[in-house]
Amino acid sequence: MQKRKLGNSGLEVSAIGLGCMSMSSGYGPPADKEQMIQLIRAAYDRGVTHFDTAEAYGPFANEELVGEALQPIRNKVVIATKFGFEIDLETGKRGLGTNSRPEHIRAVAHAGLKRLRTDSIDLFYQHRVDPDVPIEDVAGAVKELIAEGKVKHFGLSEAGVQTIRRAHAVQPVTAVQSEYSLFWRGPETELLPTLEALGIGFVPFSPLGAGFLTGKIDENTKFDPADFRNIVPRFSPEARKVNMALVDMVKAVADQKGATPAQIALAWLLAQKPWIVPIPGTTRLHRLEENLGAVNVDLTENDLRQIDEASSRLKLEGARLPEAALKMTGR
């Protein structure tokens, strides 16, 4: 497995990480815990050293899973987790909105350390920007945790460029995590140039368009009732029917390169910048192996140009998130 550094921070991780959310939430009922422990360890055996979780996934269940799975190899991997939602740390009951008050950040960090079975969190993201707490206070709270050795690196998720600049001035930001793929290219306008200028790494989540770019989803696909895609406008049957044109384009490239659509989608991301580290999620070993195979797919300048030209002619339908969730991004 190739390695990459997240911006100028010196934090080195596998070129493709593993997003662990889907093992516990988001895409239907939680998967079998023992099977997921084995999958996480299988990822490490195949070269993955970057594992992404959050207190909100479950809540708490995903951190506990990741902590148990990685405990035997803790000093050989990078664990990223997140704070910032209103969650009762005793009951796990989730309230409305965000909570990035400094005292809450500290409490979340201490609880996360226990669940993750570790003495230090490698990368601690603010999950969503809290409009009620100045970002300078948030960065300052994480800076104190770093000084105490409880956190090593600071990250932001779905933050706007002005927030990133303000936070970075208080405590250097190692990585920003946001959605980015051929299915959603919004970060290209402002976010990527800002990260490059500041020397911050980028960790795209949903790099396979929440599964759409695998080619295994069409307008007739039925999702589990607990699957968040049921409420995403871009995943309505009508939108999927229109958006299949993008999948057809990716499939055509995959056929030319002797790869799968998922591998093309991930290879395309890796080719954008050397400090981009996607974190596709899965609950299946064969999908994990397929995703990791993307590092061996060489997209030439001509390939990339053809993909850009073909995708620029497509008009994708539907917002990438429900309206309420969109209001929490880009702040």
pLDDT of residue 96: 84
**Active-site residue, 57 included:** yes
| Model pLDDT for residues 286-320, shown as the tens digit of each residue | 999 999 999 999 999 999 999 999 999 999 999 99
Domains of the chain, CATH where assigned: 3-326 (3.20.20.100)
Choosing from 27, 44, 57, 125, which is the catalytic residue?
A: 57
Q: What is the mean pLDDT of the chain?
A: 97
Backbone angles phi, psi at 177, to 5 degrees: -115, 125
Query: Any residues with CB less than 8 A from the CB of 77 and at least 6 apart, and which?
Result: 44, 49, 50, 51, 70
Task: Using DSSP, state whether 213 is helix, strand or coil.
Answer: helix
pLDDT of residue 2: 97
77/79 Cα distance (integer angstroms):
6
pLDDT of residue 291: 98
pLDDT of residue 263: 98
**Claim: this prediction has a pTM higher than 0.85:** yes
Give the type of residue at 77: V
Q: Is residue 320 classed exposed, middle or buried when 0-12, 13-18 and 19+ CB atoms within 10 A define those classes?
A: buried
Q: What residues in the chain have per-residue pLDDT under 70?
A: none
Do the bridges between strand 3-5 and strand 12-14 make them parallel or antiparallel, or are there none, so unpaired? antiparallel
304/193 Cα distance (integer angstroms):
19
Query: Which helix (H) or strand (E) is 316 found in, with range?
Result: none
